[in-house]
């Protein structure tokens, strides 16, 4: 799916345009091991625009609880490694805030 590819390649403007056009932020690709745009950004997205991509996806209400086939959720991916920077802490905070909004 185009949104997944934009997330993987770090194309923030393309990702923004697709989300503005109502692309589903949770649509994964069965051929890509069930990765969603959010899990892709967290597991293999480029470091530079990672936080901006993540922020845009969570603003579009990407589900931080949607697990990959291996059972890992976006929140679990964030917690696998120690927080290396304030950007990682910001990413975790964004996911947690989205999680709270989705439960309401």
**Over the Cα atoms of the chain, what is R_g?**
12
Q: What range defines the domain where residue 27 resides?
A: 2-103
Q: Is 24 helix (H, G, I), strand (E, B) or coil?
A: coil
Over residues 65-86, mean pLDDT: 78
Give the pLDDT score at 68: 86
92-102 confidence digits (pLDDT tens): 677 667 666 66
Say how far apart CA 49 and CA 41 lie, in whole Å.
9
Domain count, the chain: 1
DSSP 75-104: HHHHHSS---SHHHHHHHHHHHHHHHHHH-
pLDDT at 99: 63
Q: Could you tell me the CATH number of the domain that includes residue 27?
A: 1.25.40.20
State pLDDT tens for residues 10-56: 999 999 999 999 999 999 887 778 889 998 888 877 777 888 898 89
Query: Taking each helix axis from N to C terminus, what angle separates 50-59 and 12-20, rounded to the nearest 10 degrees?
Result: 10
């Amino acid at each position: 799916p185009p949104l997944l590819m934009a997330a993987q390649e770090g194309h923030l403007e393309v990702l923004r345009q697709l989300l503005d056009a109502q692309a589903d932020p949770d649509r994964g690709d069965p051929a890509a091991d069930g990765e969603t745009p959010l899990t892709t950004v967290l597991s293999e997205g480029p470091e530079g625009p990672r936080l901006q991509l993540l922020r845009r996806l969570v603003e579009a209400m990407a589900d931080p609880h949607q697990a990959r086939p291996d059972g890992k959720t976006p929140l679990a991916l964030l917690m696998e490694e120690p927080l290396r920077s304030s950007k990682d802490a910001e990413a975790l905070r964004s996911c947690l805030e989205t999680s709270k909004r989705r439960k309401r």
